[in-house]
Amino acid sequence: MSKVIGVIGCGWLGLPLAKSLVKKGYKVKGTTTSKEKLETLSTEGIAPFLVEVSEHEIQGDILEFLNGTDTLVVNIPPKLRGKGPKENYVRKIELLVANISTSAVREVLFVSSTSVYGDGQGEVDEETIPVPTSEAGKQLLATEELLKEHTLFKTTILRFAGLIGPDRHPIYMLSGRTNLSGGNAPVNLIHLEDCIGIMTSIIQNNLWGETINGVYPAHPTKKSYYTQKAHEKGLNPPNYDTSDTENPKIITSCNPFITKIYVFSTSI
Q: What percent of the chain has pLDDT above 70?
A: 97
pLDDT bracket for residue 114 (50, 70, 90)? very high
- Mean pLDDT, the chain, as a whole number? 95
Angle between helices 14-23 and 192-204 (to 10 degrees): 50
> Does residue 109 surpass a pLDDT of 90?
yes
- 137-157 residue pLDDT tens: 999 999 999 999 999 999 999
User: Whose CA is closest to 88, among 51, 45, 143, 159?
Assistant: 143
Average pLDDT of span 15-34 = 97
pLDDT bracket for residue 242 (50, 70, 90)? confident
- Please state the domain extents for the chain: 4-166+188-217+249-261
SS (H, E, C) 96-144: HHHHHCCCCCCEEEEEEEHHHCCCCCCEECCCCCCCCCCHHHHHHHHHH
Q: How far is CA 121 from CA 16, 176, 248, in A?
A: 33, 29, 7
pLDDT at 81: 65
Q: What percent of the chain has pLDDT above 90?
A: 89
> Does residue 1 surpass a pLDDT of 60?
no
- 174-193 residue pLDDT tens: 999 999 999 999 999 999 99
- 37-87 residue pLDDT tens: 999 999 999 999 999 999 999 999 999 999 999 999 999 999 866 556 678
Question: Domain 4-166+188-217+249-261 falls in which CATH fold?
Answer: Rossmann fold (3.40.50)
DSSP 35: G
CA–CA separation, 242 and 240 (whole Å):
6
- 180-234 residue pLDDT tens: 999 999 999 999 999 999 999 999 999 999 999 999 999 999 999 999 999 999 9
Average pLDDT of span 123-134 = 96
